[in-house]
Amino acid sequence: MSSHPSIITTVDVVVLTIGPEGLSVLLNTRTREPFEGRLALPGGYVRADEDASADAAAFRVLRDKVGVSDVHIEQLATFSGAQRDPRGYSLTVAYVALVPLSAIPEGASLHPVREVRGLAFDHDTILGAAVDRLRSKSSYSSAPAALLEKPFTLPELYAAYADVLGVSPDPSSFRRKVLAVGAITPSGEKRGSGGRGKGRAAETYVLPRGEVRTFDITFKSR
Amino acid sequence: MSSHPSIITTVDVVVLTIGPEGLSVLLNTRTREPFEGRLALPGGYVRADEDASADAAAFRVLRDKVGVSDVHIEQLATFSGAQRDPRGYSLTVAYVALVPLSAIPEGASLHPVREVRGLAFDHDTILGAAVDRLRSKSSYSSAPAALLEKPFTLPELYAAYADVLGVSPDPSSFRRKVLAVGAITPSGEKRGSGGRGKGRAAETYVLPRGEVRTFDITFKSR
DNA sequence: CAAATAGTGTCTCTAAGACATTATACT
DNA sequence: AGTATAATGTCTTAGAGACACTATTTG
């Protein structure tokens, strides 16, 4: 009954952040076949004797192969079939992690998502699904805040939304909405933003209880 | 390299519809161990030699074990671990199908989701996730229309939203919104609703191009 | 003080909620 | 005719977009 052809079972993690060139993804260069030398999402086998679940395997991969821990990861979707891995029939459970730039170790290779193409396996598809998911969640939650350093300023959050969604809503409406709904809470401190050392310092905020909140936000494109 | 302990890989499908008692799920009684005699979601092994992918396996299960085809199914999430199946480490890719009552074969066992508890494996969890997903999608799309016979009337659609979301928005606002946004298109015919054979006949509608549309809908609870 | 960025106030207009009113079907 | 249900009209009000204006920081 369990004598079916075996299925290669893996996890892959799409680590997204906002880097100097906007929304970016962490990629590794494959050191062995298949696709040796090609860029790929960090991933690994699900080890039945070690991982309590696929979710746990994703955490392990993130910790051991990327050096990132203490981040929120979320299941994205599962991709499977005979074609996606030349070694045979395979199934991968894909995850998304939204992290601030500072959580990514030195030397990791970050790539602006716009420029990424030609990844190993079906990782282009997986990355596309991850970005779609982020865009979708951004339109009704404070998800982009997870991409920022804590605490963050309101202009920074605005920029994150604008970058992810590709729209530029009215800044004052944005401010009103986000504050009215309690999606972020003031941390009491102030900080110069932008980095250019000019202009008024901005209030900083954190996510209440560290959690992304959902709310209704409907930005028209401009 | 591929000498890892093997993982039982399956798919499970949550078939939802609106039956006489509201939102309901199609369940089968298990005919063998484990959980023999218990209710469970229809499911089956992913057969590497037969199914092009897990998605294809879900279609096959739906067709062969349930007798339903030509429906839209959507991946929900993947559940895995050593505990969920007594036979060993397992992984299941769960799917949701939203179907009209007429698409369900005679003799299938439908159960109002409110009353379902004690399913085999972790199927209570999976069902819960499916219902959450449906509720979530209902708040920004015409998803509940997929649960209705085609063509459907506007009052029927309203009732579907009310049942799924558990709220009763103003009927006239609902009508304006849904029509203004083009989520449904008139089919030209009329039909008596309710079944009690009373009252004015209602215009019937279909989904444009048969597709669920997303739009902004924000119902306050009442 | 000038420049740059952060934040507020106010006006307009759209659209949701409430609810009264009209229309159409059946017995 | 009477009743039940479908559909429309209208009023009020909350909130998004637009944009002018004020505040605070650095050079």
- Of the ranges A131-145, A187-201, B78-92, which one carries the lowest mean pLDDT score? A187-201
- Output the pLDDT for position B2: 44
Q: Residues 97 to 156 of A: which have CB under 8 A from any B CB?
A: 140
Q: Which residues of chain B have a CB within 8 Å of the CB of A93?
A: 78, 80, 91
pLDDT at A3 exceeding the cut of 70: no
Structure tokens at A73: 């990861």
- Output the pLDDT for position A120: 98
pLDDT by position in tens, chain B (length 222) = 444 678 999 999 999 999 999 999 999 999 999 999 999 999 999 999 999 999 999 999 999 999 999 898 999 999 999 999 999 999 999 999 999 999 999 989 999 999 999 999 999 999 999 999 999 999 889 999 999 999 999 999 999 999 999 988 899 999 999 999 999 999 988 887 655 668 899 999 999 988 998 887 766 554
- Output the pLDDT for position B196: 63
Cα distance between the two ends of chain A: 58
Nearest to B91 among A9, A52, A82 (CB): A9
Read off the DSSP letter of residue A146.
G
Contact criterion met (CB below 8 Å) for B111 and B20? no
Please tell me which residue lies nearest to nucleotide D4, judged from CA to C1': B199
Distance, Å, B173 CA → D5 C1': 17
C-beta atoms of A48 and B87 within 8 A: no
Nearest to B7 among A48, A80, A82 (CB): A48
- Output the pLDDT for position A44: 97
Distance, Å, A200 CA → C2 C1': 14
The long-range contacts involving A133-140, CB below 8 angstroms and separated by at least 24 positions, are A133/A76, A133/A96, A134/A16, A134/A23, A134/A96, A134/A98, A134/A164, A135/A164, A135/A165, A137/A212, A138/A164, A138/A165, A139/A165, A139/A217, A139/A218, A139/A219, A140/A214, A140/A215, A140/A216, A140/A217, A140/B140
Distance, Å, B197 CA → D2 C1': 15
- Output the pLDDT for position B220: 59
Of A79 and B2, which is predicted with more confidence? Answer: A79
Cβ neighbors of A198 (< 8 A, separation 6 or more) are none
Beta strands in B35-87 (DSSP E): 39-40, 43-45, 73-81
Q: Which residues of chain B have a CB within 8 Å of the CB of A9?
A: 7, 9, 91
Q: How far apart are CA B43 and CA A152, in angstroms?
A: 46
Among candidate residues B63, B136, B47, the one with its CA nearest the CA of residue B99: B63
Strand D bases near protein CB (under 7 Å) are 3-10, 15-20, 23-27
- Output the pLDDT for position A80: 98
pLDDT at A222 exceeding the cut of 50: no
Beta strands in chain A (DSSP E): 8-19, 22-29, 39-40, 43-45, 73-81, 90-98, 109-112, 152-153, 185-191, 202-206
- A181 CA: distance to closest CA in chain B (Å): 14
Q: Which residues of chain A have a CB within 8 Å of the CB of B140?
A: 140
Q: Is B39 helix (H, G, I), strand (E, B) or coil?
A: strand
Structure tokens at B60: 């096959």
- Output the pLDDT for position B70: 87
Cβ pairs bridging A and B (under 8 Å): 81
**Average pLDDT estimate for A20-32:** 96
Residue of B nearest to A219 (CA): B216
Structure tokens at B29: 């009684």
Q: Which residues of chain B have a CB within 8 Å of the CB of A140?
A: 140
pLDDT at A2 exceeding the cut of 50: no
pTM, two decimals, is: 0.94
